[in-house]
Amino acid sequence: MNWLSLTSEADLHQAIAASHTHSVLLFKHSTRCSISHAALSRIENAWNAEAINDTMPYYLDLLNHRDISNLIAQTFGVTHQSPQILIIKNGKCTHHASHMEITFDDVKEHL
């Protein structure tokens, strides 16, 4: 699995622009949280690029980039959680989940 880094406002704008031609997955990860590590591992271990076509996965280390996490919450009207995934299509958040609700099957179902 090849995560794209989400470290700046420009990266977020790039992800939103990409969502007009590809589904985009944003994964907000807390490096200090065991639940976040478990969710990240579940996604990475089950990742099957063929099953989700051309979805672009973005990774945000929210402890180092809390400002971007806040911008994501503001942009998409989704309350901040950690860990959290958002699926972005055509510039809109079409699905989000947090904590133990984060699974590859859930992602696949909402793409």
CATH number at residue 10: 3.40.30.10
CA atoms within 13 A on the CB side of 58: 29
Taking the model in full, what pTM does it have?
0.93
Backbone angles phi, psi at 81, to 5 degrees: -140, 165
Euclidean distance between the first and the last CA atom of the chain, given in angstroms as a whole number: 17
Residue 17 lies in domain:
4-109
**What's the domain count of the chain?**
1
Q: Which of 47, 41, 33, 36 is nearest to 84 (CA)?
A: 36
Quick one: average pLDDT of 52-57? 89
Task: Identify the weakest region by mean pLDDT among 20-24, 50-54, 62-66.
Answer: 50-54
Query: 98 near 84, Cβ under 8 Å?
Result: yes
Number of Cβ within a 10 Å radius of residue 75: 17
The rounded distance, in Å, linking the Cα atoms of 101 and 104 is 10
User: pLDDT by residue (tens digit) across 57-108?
Assistant: 999 999 999 999 999 999 999 998 899 999 999 999 999 999 989 999 999 9
